[in-house]
Amino acid sequence: MRKELWFFDKILSQKEPRVKYGFRIKKKIFSGKSDFQKIDILDTYQFGRTLFLDRVIQLSQTDEFIYHEMISHLPLFSHPNPKKILIIGGGDGGVLREVLLHPVEEVYLVDIDKKVIEISKKYLSFVSKGAFENKRAKMIIGDGLKFIKKFKNYFDIVISDATEPVGPSMALYQIKFYQDVFSVLKKDGIMITQSGNFTFEFYLIKRVFKILKKIFPFVKIYRFMVPSFESEFCLILASKKINLDKISLKELKERYKKVVSKSPKRFRKLKYYSPEIHLASGVLPKFYQVK
């Protein structure tokens, strides 16, 4: 009998192994190193092609749409008229794909790791779906921390699609970065950041939330389930002017209808996000609430 191949996801919060999540592998698609991290793309039985960076799962073919739709459409539909967007990270192109469904004028994508973009284009084209070639997309290979200092009061939305808070991404979870984000946003600007999962990284969720509350007047946690991520996942929105708790279902439906009318065929392909999901994902059980 052929020996089964398994790949075990690295759970960063564990100083010593207590829980392991394994993926049974059909085939290794790519494995190598960039200047910043180890990159693995594996064809798994349960989730199809799956991207790992430094052994931490980033996306899978079967459910990447959940994360990418939520991190993109939550802030864009919370804003009345987003035109200029900044994505930090997101080298796989999934966030870019979703943002470009909206009638935005320009989208900057800044990723420090050129190889992630190259490998994603080659082996994970189902994620970006041609987004990198869109004329509204401006690709920058570089440090998002440095890039963001070039602007002030310029962007409507900043999306921090960073990897886990280790190595080069550590600085994207610090107060200085969030202060710089505040500066580059317009007066009604909104930012969103991924903040890990509730089971193993609740410490990170609490820390990010409390830092953002020191800078932004309105901060809100959203939750949703991504099966390949092993737990409910967290996104945190922060706004300079818009009270995220007071956005009504009526407002969301009106904005959604207006945007969809300009790109009906592509928006029909949304599998997860809806105005109803937008509001429902902001409802937290007591043990997830942070003050």
Catalytic residue ranges: 161
- Between strands 137-141 and 106-111, the pairing is parallel
8 A C-beta contact, residue 38 and residue 53: yes
Q: Contact at 8 Å (CB) between 191 and 158? A: yes
Cβ pair 183, 75 in contact under 8 A: no
Phi, psi (deg, nearest 5) at residue 16: -140, 150
Task: Report the distance separating Cα 188 and Cα 197, nearest Å.
Answer: 28
Distance CA 4, CA 198 (A): 30
Number of alpha carbons in the 13 Å side-chain half-sphere of residue 81: 1
Strand, coil or helix: 92:
coil
